[in-house]
Amino acid sequence: MAIRSNLGYQTFIYQLARDVLVVCPVCSGCATVKANGFPFPRNQYDEIKIVCTQCGFNKVLPRNPTVLVNAGRVPSKRTEGKHLIFGVPIDPFFHLSLWITANVRGNLLWAYNYEHLKFLRQFVEAELRERNGVKSTNGSIGSRLPKWMTSRKNRKDVLRVLEKLLTV
């Protein structure tokens, strides 16, 4: 019997962006970006903070941080305000490198946290991925995963790396 999954078409990346594991900017150990209650209304970002239990570093996301934004056609520019960035191997809030990364056949596999890793494992191991009446949307994780990750020919390698990351 084929393993089925439609969870990937009902889940959005921002739903997994709580307790994001990042590389601490001070000691290079594992720190946590805590975004309890995310997603929440745009005016409640004061709850987001980074905490490193190894060196004690902690910081609350500033009200109007200055960030470097790459707008594609426009060269990188500095701008003020909160810019949430999803879909790349950095945390969406402070824009720090993610702790959970690995190379799979020359491609970068990344996850925000262990919940995200478990989700990826469940989706990748499914032999049959169905939408089952789920409205066709391009914002779900299932529709946004790179082809190399969801390809049948890479399934064993991707699952091997995911299992290794989950046991660390």
Both tokens assigned to 80: 């003020």
Q: Are strands 30-34 and 49-51 parallel, antiparallel or unpaired?
A: antiparallel
Pair type for strands 100-104 and 77-80? unpaired
- The more confidently predicted of residues 73 and 162 is 162
Which phi and psi angles does 159 have, rounded to 5°?
-65, -35
How many other C-beta atoms lie within 10 A of the C-beta of residue 63?
Answer: 10
DSSP string, 15-67: GG-SSEEEE-TTTSSEEEEE-TT-S--GGGGGG-EEE-TTT--EEEPPSS-EE
- The DSSP letter of residue 112 is S
Highest mean pLDDT among 2-11, 36-45, 94-103: 94-103
How would residue 5 be classed by pLDDT, with cut points 50, 70 and 90? very low
- The stretch 17-25 carries a mean pLDDT of 92
ω before 75 within 30° of 0 (cis)? no
Mean model confidence pLDDT for the chain? 78
pLDDT in tens, 62-120: 766 555 555 444 555 555 566 778 888 999 888 899 999 999 999 999 999 999 999 89
Residue 158 pLDDT: 95
